[in-house]
Chains A and B, each alone.
Chain A
């Protein structure tokens, strides 16, 4: 048996996974336990490489080996290899031994699993181009998984954990995100309690909810008839409207800010929630109308014709036939508009001066000063994020279906 491309790949893949997982488990260990570590990356790469090669050999020796047993064989070897080095994370094993051992097992398990997933079904020696590309793609997909998960999770993790810390401990060790349960419930949620009691976050939350819900209601009230007219009724300019309505969405908000600021100042609408309730729907109606008309078009018009034949008026048809049929689309549009209104920053920032009127976006910005500790800022960010994320996760399938429906052809 000759030493071939698959063997080389197995060694390289093992080395990369060993390194990647060592860095990640090292950092996670650091964040969770507060222990200062500097992982032995070289050793991890070496062990991973050996592990990759051994996995390949074990797999070829036993014809019916499953992925799991292969990975298990790896795991034992890998733990053994690292334990020999004594200090796998570059810190004395005596400190936080339990954490270190768990991290070690996790590292070995993840490395073994990744190698197993990449190399499953491969035999030592050389392989054809097809098989080699498949191997490469599996490997890259695995890396991409890790990469995307980290870049998405890390900022949110830092945001959440910072809000539980105190200024001193943050400055002392910015890598220590271990939660100190010794300070009790009150100590842990001190920032949140202060935001709600001293920084008016209760009223910010109510204002934001009020503005967002009203924006959704107003937008739907305007967009449903408009979308129906564009989708179903024949009138001069229909084709032009259905094409060009989205162009409104291309107008930059920053161009509108100066005139609206000037005019609303004169009319006394600037420093008021009414002002926001005029501007927000105006920016969301075009996109809502566009999404809805795409959906209305897809409904079978025979149903509506039947309703018309049976004596319903147009408005009756819309209320009794079209609306019930398009509930999923309405839900997705409502959710999308809600998200836009909840997250809107520019107009809230420019328009609102009074503390009682602040929305969350405006309120969190006001926390961004050197006088307010940063855990308060992050607690504010968490308060602004949690409701919209919760609602999003609740209705996710509607949103995903609705957002992409208009633009994708089968």
Chain B
């Protein structure tokens, strides 16, 4: 038996709810648009570019350029001269269609128009040239008679630049696709080593920053005089601009004369000669008859990454530690747990949530990092990561398409990481 008299909740959304919805969308639209335009749009555009044979030089779209002058240089009124336009297409590849030139002729110059492509209306000259081939050039010559007013006014033809309009194909918007970019990057010898270096850098840079942060948080967790000062100081590496600290490291670790750190080591008798921390790919060393290659430059950039980002993890870990209630520690104390046991069995499990979140974030950000390695080594000496490779391909080798293809690989690897993390991440807090 159904009783229709029991009131049911309404099925449709009411007017108030609709208004709230509309207000929410209005408030979100600006954010949505800018994110769409500057982040999501370029993300898709990057896929587009990665399938196109586009070079850095292709970005400069084909343009018509002109030089104008009078020949010979007029000396007296009534002289017959030629107004000459030297016109060319700036592009070596793309023709330009429907080229129209507009120019204003200086007063006092009597043109006798002999070209059917051109028309004169008062002082304004309009010419239609049709199509100019790639790298095409030609001259337009119009006879003219100089009047006294021209010589007096002192206005010359080139003072007033001719304006061109025209259509040209843009390689970026055409429907010409190729797989060459991907073929090129996957078949290069470097690619797999670049990928491996990226992974080493990401994993050890992340772990380094986390471990340093954990230790720094431990020593600042107890209250003492000057703790706030020290906390501010420990954040310096993160707050200072990357260019400043990167160049400070470069100078500090310089292997040439003037390198402070090497001079220190040699003065203390720790090393024989200067170590090229940022320029040397491998340092061979022998243990028990086995020779290992120690990746020097890679280790240095990993150390830099850990140094620069330990403040961030330190800050979050410290905040979490200070929010753990002291009851547990008191109970553990009474039960006779030693300090290390308290750390291992109480603090660490409590910190696991924030540690895993930090690991995830830092892992992705470290993988995305470009500036640090670019400024320290420029990707030389076995430190070229995928992100540096994007720059190298697109702007150093000037092959935008190949750079975009590497960027696609960066994004794909990132997606794989994200999937793995979501699969295995703890679901509780964050």
Inter-subunit contact B28/A230 (CB<8 Å): yes
Nearest B residue to A404, CB-CB: B319
Question: Is B400 among interface residues, defined by CB-CB distance under 8 A?
Answer: yes
The one of A141, A175, A361, A407 in contact with B430, judged by C-beta atoms closer than 8 angstroms, is A407
With most chain A CB atoms within 10 A of its CB, the pick from B54, B218, B241, B403 is B241
Inter-subunit contact A345/B315 (CB<8 Å): no
Nearest A residue to B240, CB-CB: A385
Stretch from B34-42, B86-94, B277-285, B287-295 forming part of the interface with A = B34-42
Q: List 29 A-B contacts (CB under 8 A).
A: A30-B264, A38-B267, A39-B268, A129-B338, A133-B338, A141-B219, A149-B230, A152-B234, A153-B233, A156-B236, A159-B251, A174-B262, A175-B263, A225-B30, A235-B20, A250-B364, A250-B414, A252-B407, A254-B407, A255-B408, A258-B400, A265-B59, A282-B34, A286-B31, A345-B243, A374-B258, A377-B251, A396-B232, A400-B231
Question: Is A13 among interface residues, defined by CB-CB distance under 8 A?
Answer: no
Inter-subunit contact A156/B248 (CB<8 Å): yes
Inter-subunit contact A144/B218 (CB<8 Å): yes
User: Which residues in B have their C-beta under 8 angstroms from that of A225?
Assistant: 27-28, 30-31
The 8 tightest CB contacts between A and B, nearest first, are A282-B38, A252-B368, A259-B45, A381-B244, A225-B27, A404-B319, A259-B42, A233-B24
Which residues in B have some Cβ–Cβ distance to A below 8 Å?
17, 20-21, 23-25, 27-28, 30-31, 34-35, 37-39, 41-43, 45-46, 48-49, 54, 59-61, 170, 172, 212, 215-216, 218-219, 230-237, 239-245, 247-249, 251-252, 257-260, 262-264, 267-269, 307, 315-316, 319-320, 323, 336, 338-340, 354, 357, 364-365, 367-368, 370-371, 375, 387, 390-391, 394-395, 400, 403-404, 407-408, 410-411, 414, 418, 429-430
Inter-subunit contact A226/B27 (CB<8 Å): yes
With most chain B CB atoms within 10 A of its CB, the pick from A36, A228, A388, A409 is A409
Q: Given A248-B39, A286-B35, are A254 and B368 neighbors across the interface (CB < 8 Å)?
A: yes
A372 to chain B, nearest CB (A): 11
The B-contacting residues of A in range 319-354, CB under 8 angstroms, are 339, 342-343, 345-346, 350
User: Which residues in B have their C-beta under 8 angstroms from that of A400?
Assistant: 231, 315, 319
A155–B242 alpha-carbon span in the complex (Å): 12
Digit string of A123-138 for contact with B (CB within 8 Å is 1, else 0)? 0000001100110110
Q: Given A144-B215, A392-B235, are A248 and B35 neighbors across the interface (CB < 8 Å)?
A: yes
Question: Is A182 among interface residues, defined by CB-CB distance under 8 A?
Answer: no
A156–B232 alpha-carbon span in the complex (Å): 14
User: Which residues in B have their C-beta under 8 angstroms from that of A248?
Assistant: 35, 39
A108–B218 alpha-carbon span in the complex (Å): 27
User: Which residues in B have their C-beta under 8 angstroms from that of A137?
Assistant: 339-340
The B-contacting residues of A in range 368-410, CB under 8 angstroms, are 368, 374, 377-378, 381-382, 384-385, 388-389, 392-393, 396, 400, 403-404, 407-410
Is the interface on chain A under 10, 10 to 19, 20 to 34, or 35 or more residues?
35 or more
User: Which residues in B have their C-beta under 8 angstroms from that of A289?
Assistant: 31
Inter-subunit contact A266/B236 (CB<8 Å): no
A381–B241 alpha-carbon span in the complex (Å): 8
Inter-subunit contact A263/B267 (CB<8 Å): no
With most chain B CB atoms within 10 A of its CB, the pick from A149, A238, A256 is A256
A326 to chain B, nearest CB (A): 16
Inter-subunit contact B307/A409 (CB<8 Å): no
Inter-subunit contact A345/B371 (CB<8 Å): yes
Inter-subunit contact B390/A257 (CB<8 Å): yes
A343–B46 alpha-carbon span in the complex (Å): 25
User: Which residues in A have their C-beta under 8 angstroms from that of B234?
Assistant: 148, 152
The one of A226, A236, A385 in contact with B244, judged by C-beta atoms closer than 8 angstroms, is A385
User: Which residues in A have their C-beta under 8 angstroms from that of B43?
Assistant: 251, 255-256, 259
Digit string of A357-368 for contact with B (CB within 8 Å is 1, else 0)? 000110011001
B307 to chain A, nearest CB (A): 6
A129–B339 alpha-carbon span in the complex (Å): 10
Nearest B residue to A225, CB-CB: B27
B265 to chain A, nearest CB (A): 11
A39–B387 alpha-carbon span in the complex (Å): 44
Inter-subunit contact B248/A258 (CB<8 Å): no
Question: Is A260 among interface residues, defined by CB-CB distance under 8 A?
Answer: yes
A281–B25 alpha-carbon span in the complex (Å): 20
A155–B390 alpha-carbon span in the complex (Å): 29
A187–B277 alpha-carbon span in the complex (Å): 32
Inter-subunit contact A254/B387 (CB<8 Å): yes
Q: Given A134-B339, A364-B247, A381-B248, are A259 and B49 neighbors across the interface (CB < 8 Å)?
A: yes
Inter-subunit contact B39/A408 (CB<8 Å): no
User: Which residues in B have their C-beta under 8 angstroms from that of A309?
Assistant: none
Question: Is A314 among interface residues, defined by CB-CB distance under 8 A?
Answer: yes
Inter-subunit contact B320/A256 (CB<8 Å): no
Digit string of A98-139 for contact with B (CB within 8 Å is 1, else 0)? 000000000000000000000000000000011001101100
A232 to chain B, nearest CB (A): 9
Inter-subunit contact B241/A407 (CB<8 Å): no
Q: Given A222-B31, A226-B27, are A250 and B233 neighbors across the interface (CB < 8 Å)?
A: no
Inter-subunit contact A384/B59 (CB<8 Å): no
A360–B244 alpha-carbon span in the complex (Å): 10
With most chain B CB atoms within 10 A of its CB, the pick from A170, A175, A278, A404 is A404
A144–B387 alpha-carbon span in the complex (Å): 33
Inter-subunit contact A141/B241 (CB<8 Å): no
Question: Is A355 among interface residues, defined by CB-CB distance under 8 A?
Answer: no
A257–B394 alpha-carbon span in the complex (Å): 10
User: Which residues in B have their C-beta under 8 angstroms from that of A350?
Assistant: 395
With most chain B CB atoms within 10 A of its CB, the pick from A262, A286, A382, A403 is A262
Inter-subunit contact A378/B34 (CB<8 Å): no
Inter-subunit contact B340/A393 (CB<8 Å): no
Known: A130-B339, A159-B247, A392-B235. 10 other contacts (CB 8 A): A155-B245, A158-B248, A250-B418, A255-B407, A263-B45, A282-B38, A346-B371, A403-B315, A404-B319, A407-B316
The one of A234, A278, A389 in contact with B21, judged by C-beta atoms closer than 8 angstroms, is A234
Inter-subunit contact A384/B241 (CB<8 Å): yes
Q: Given A253-B368, A254-B368, A368-B247, are A154 and B252 neighbors across the interface (CB < 8 Å)?
A: yes
Inter-subunit contact B260/A158 (CB<8 Å): yes
A228–B247 alpha-carbon span in the complex (Å): 41
User: Which residues in B have their C-beta under 8 angstroms from that of A54?
Assistant: none
Question: Is A84 among interface residues, defined by CB-CB distance under 8 A?
Answer: no
Inter-subunit contact B387/A252 (CB<8 Å): yes
A147–B410 alpha-carbon span in the complex (Å): 35
Inter-subunit contact B248/A234 (CB<8 Å): no
